[in-house]
Amino acid sequence: MPRFRFPAALVLACAFAFANLVLLPVAARAQGDARSLAEQALAACKPAYPCAHPLPVRVVIVSLFEIGADEGDAAGEFQLWKERRGLSLRIPFPQGFHDLYYNPETQVLGVVTGVGTARSTAATMALGLDPRFDLRQAYWLVAGIAGIDPADASIGSVALARYVVDGDLAHEIDPREIPKDWKYGYFPRGTQGPNDTTTPLDRSGGEVFAINPTLERWAFARIRAVQLPDSPAIAKERAQFSGFPKAQRPPFVLEGEQLSAMTFWHGARMTDWANHWVKTWTEGKGEFVTSAMEDTGVMQAMTYLDAAGRADRDRVLVLRAGSNYTMPPPGTDATSYLLRENEGYAGLEAAVENLYTVGSVLVDDLLTHWDRYATATP
């Protein structure tokens, strides 16, 4: 009786199918199980309603805006995190600006708050109070672009904040009406003017937030030596800043304070004011480096969530990368430079890439040593 021979290609195909269906690696099965369990938990819960099985979260990536789609086009702050961190599980978030994205295997959650203090406060509070998530042990990484002071750093550089200072809560008089010995018409509430150094400042009103110093030092020790890429485009831009040696350096990592204000200000005089303002509110301990809009909103919300036992304010880090300078280079007027930058920030691409590079060092460390960092901050 003749023996029937299966074609070799068919034998290989069957073996491959068997391996995929029966001998699927344990890690791959675990990933599938994690996603399935997360989807089941979410299906049983609605936004803002009681939830029996909240999703555990280890790290929250806080982005502030995105350009266009969440993937596949020009990247804003969120896109690289979504694509490279496997944030593929979309979670409806009608009480916020943008739907959430989650990786069930790593338990990393991404939120896009929307631009401005009002939206960042609302989105952070809405997420923190959402019963679908267990955020009690989560670390929060605010990672956004910013204006950067050319006296301190170059575009593409990444600054880790020790303090976040609010630039909106203040008294203001039009500079054309201020006394001749006043340098600014903007000064702290409750004082007699910008030259008043004797009236005690009330720092409980949301004007300044200190990042957990132990966590900040731990983070900076891990990222300070990260090498950031350079490019001809940003090199050409920074070459204009003669007399500002740090502005002419290739991108680097540094410590420096973040000033949050709803007004997109620009210019040498405003940058001088920002330095004065940050030094005032940090009692001379802080150095203004980056300008943005949202971070005091995030910190205020986290303060309330901490008090309610929903999140841990001591687990927040703030990273900002320079997409543009806060003032023009010598020989260029502030108006022309600002309007040109509004057409496209010279350092945007470098900033979002470097935010991801630097931020990922911290995320990876937290996830790798979760057995240590879950119950105690570094």
Residues 257-277 pLDDT 10s: 999 999 999 999 999 999 999
If phi over 0 gives left and psi between -120 and 50 gives alpha, with beta otherwise, what is residue 46?
Answer: beta
347: Cβ contacts below 8 Å, ≥ 6 apart: 155, 156, 234, 237, 321, 322, 323, 324
Beta strands at 100-103 and 158-160: parallel, antiparallel or unpaired: unpaired
73, pLDDT greater than 60: yes
pLDDT of 342 reads 84
Mean pLDDT of 204-220: 96
Confidence at 71, pLDDT banded by 50, 70, 90: confident
Q: In whole angstroms, give the CA distance from residue 203 to residue 329.
A: 34
For the chain, the structural domain boundaries read 54-169+205-373
23, pLDDT greater than 60: no
pLDDT of 28 reads 53
Q: Give yes or no for a contact between 102 and 109, defined as CB atoms under 8 angstroms apart.
A: yes
CATH topology of domain 54-169+205-373: Rossmann fold (3.40.50)
pLDDT of 12 reads 40
301: Cβ contacts below 8 Å, ≥ 6 apart: 120, 121, 124, 125, 128
Q: In whole angstroms, give the CA distance from residue 150 to residue 171.
A: 27
Phi and psi, residue 270, nearest 5°: -70, -35
pLDDT of 273 reads 97
Q: In whole angstroms, give the CA distance from residue 359 to residue 343.
A: 27
Which is higher by pLDDT, 73 or 182?
182
